[in-house]
């Protein structure tokens, strides 16, 4: 039996494990680590935003007829470990706009304060 060689595998013998294949992470199927928190519980608090995902389907987005909501991952301090992450959903277009601008400028993590009034939420 002839075994094909993959140049990325440095002539290692295939041990049959999944790790041997060095399959990259599927960027289209991402998730964020952290405890779920309500957006309203975070109003008037400051934290560091580390990452976000757009258009995550939720029961709220389905009832509103939208693609999905934005999932935001935050930590209490810039140097907090990922295990201290909290994540929350938001439908705020103002927050999404700010997150996109931070991403465009490649400036994560970023310290923000979440503000809210009624059903309107924004970052300062």
Is this structure's pTM higher than 0.85? no
Give the pLDDT confidence of 25-39 residue by residue, as tens digits. 666 666 899 999 999
* Residue 79 region by backbone torsions, left for phi larger than 0, else alpha for psi between -120 and 50, else beta: alpha
| Mean pLDDT for all residues in the chain | 86
Q: Domains of the chain: which residue ranges? A: 29-123
Q: How far is 124 from 111, CA to CA, in rounded Å?
A: 9
CB 47 within 8 A of CB 110: no
Predicted local confidence at residue 100, as pLDDT: 97
Predicted local confidence at residue 19, as pLDDT: 84
H helix count then E strand count, the chain = 2, 6
- Pull the structure tokens for residue 20: 């041997």
Q: What angle do CA 56, 109, 95 make, to 5 degrees?
A: 45
Q: How far is 46 from 112, CA to CA, in rounded Å?
A: 6
Task: Return the SS3 of 84.
Answer: helix
């Amino acid at each position: 039996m002839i075994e094909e060689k993959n140049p990325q595998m440095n002539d290692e013998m295939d041990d049959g494990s999944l790790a041997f294949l060095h399959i990259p992470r599927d960027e289209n199927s991402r998730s964020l680590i952290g405890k779920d928190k309500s957006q309203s519980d975070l109003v008037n608090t400051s934290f560091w935003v580390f990452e976000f995902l757009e258009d995550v389907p939720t029961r709220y987005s389905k009832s509103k007829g939208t693609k999905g909501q934005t999932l935001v991952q935050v930590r209490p301090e810039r140097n907090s470990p990922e295990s201290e992450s909290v994540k929350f959903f938001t439908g705020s277009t103002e927050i999404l706009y700010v997150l996109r601008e931070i991403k465009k400028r490649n400036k994560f993590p970023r310290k923000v304060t979440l503000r809210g009034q009624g059903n309107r939420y924004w970052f300062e």
